[in-house]
Structure 1
C-alpha cells in the first residue's frame, strides 16, 4: 500500500510530501528514509515528532532507532522535525486524515451560545469538544477587564467544562496547552476563536477545519520552501484548491 508522509522541517514553511510504499502494519525505520534524514540534517542527535490522530498529541521519534507503523486505514502520517512549531496546512492535513478514517465532516454553522457580558470590550468564540467523534459546542464569551480570559467564569459555558483543566490549542506552536478553567490567561489578539478539548476526547470532528482557520490568521509561509526542498506557491495553491472542496475545509464556523 502507499503511505503519504508529511514532514514540517522548518518553521512557517510548507511541508515536504512523500509517498512510501509498504505492507499493511509494516514498521518503517526512519533512518531508511534518506530524504527524511537529509531534511533533519543527518542522523546524529536528530529526531522528529509524529502527530497521533485520535488522542491528538505529538509523540517523540529518534531517527537512529525508531520506526513508524503504517496502518491500512490511516494512509497519511504527520511528522515535524523536533523544534518546529508553526506548521502551515496542518489543519488541512488533519481533516484529510479524519476523512480517511471514515469520520463524517462536522456540521457547518454550529449554533453559538451567547455568554457575553454587556460592558465587556473584547469577546471571543470558544469551540469545545467534549465527546468522542462529535462536533464541538460553540460559545461566545467576554474577556476580563484586564484583557485576560477565564473559562470557568461563564455560564452556560461552564456546564461543558466537565474537567477543571482542559486542552487549549496554540496555533502559533501547533501544540496543545493545559489550562485551568479557574485561572485567567492572556490570549493574543490574533485569536478570534479558541479551540478547547476536554482531556481524553478522541477524534474531535471539525478540529482540522478550525485549526486551519486559525492558521490562516497568521502570515502565509515564508519562501514556500528552500533549496534543496523547493515547494512553489503554485503547488501550495493547487493543494488547497484540490483538498478544500472535497473535504469541506474551506468553509469554517469561525464567522458564525
Structure 2
C-alpha cells in the first residue's frame, strides 16, 4: 500500500489518538491538531518528521484556516482529512447556558465545516482526496437528554451528505462515521454535563443523572479505528460507516420508525399539491 498523508483534528485522545498511532505504525504521515501539544511529546519523539503537529481549537475559525494551510504546505499533499475533534454535551434542553449551547455547536458543527472548507481548495486542485467526518449513531437516532449534542451531529451529517454530492466530480469522497458506544475519552472524560434542574428528576431528560451509571461501552476503539482506516481503500467512498452492534441497532430502528411515519402519510401529503397547469385552466 502506498504511503498516505492524513490531517486529523483532535489527536490528543480518543479516536484521533488511535487513528494517529495506527497510521504512523504502518508508515503513513499524519498532520495532527491538538489543544495540548504536551500530550504528543512521546509520539513526536518516536515518529519524528512523519508526525506534524499544530495547536488548534476548532472554535477559533481564523486559526483553522491558518493551520490547514500550514499542514498542506508542510507535507505538500494530504490524502485524507479527518474531522475528529468534538465532545458530548448531555442534559435537558433548558438546563444549558447560552454559552454551553454555542460552544457545542461551534465545536461539533461549525468547526468541522470550516476545517472542510479550508481543505477543499487543496483537495480539489489535487483531483483526489477523502473527507472523513466522525459522527455517532446519534446523528441518525436520538435520546432525550442529548438535545444540543444531537443538533450538532444531525447538522454536520446534513452538511456532509450534501457536500458528498457537490465534490464527487472532483474525485473527493466523503464518509460519515457513526460509531456506537466506545471505550474512549469521549464517554469517560471529555463529555460535559449540564447543571441539573430538579424539574427533570425522574424524567427521560435526566441524562446527567443516568450517564454516570451506564455500564462500560461495548465498542473497541482500536478496532473501530482499523475499520475507519480500511474504509479509505473503498471506492467509491462509503457514504456512512456504522460501527458497533449497538450503533447498528439504534440507527436501524430509528430509520424504520421514521420511514413508517412517512409512508403512512403518502396519500395525505399529496392533498396539498397545487393543480397542474392544464387542470387549473379548465
* TM-score range normalised by the length of the shorter chain: under 0.3
Decide which structure has greater helix share. Answer: 2
Bigger radius of gyration among the two: 2
Decide which structure has greater strand share. Answer: 1
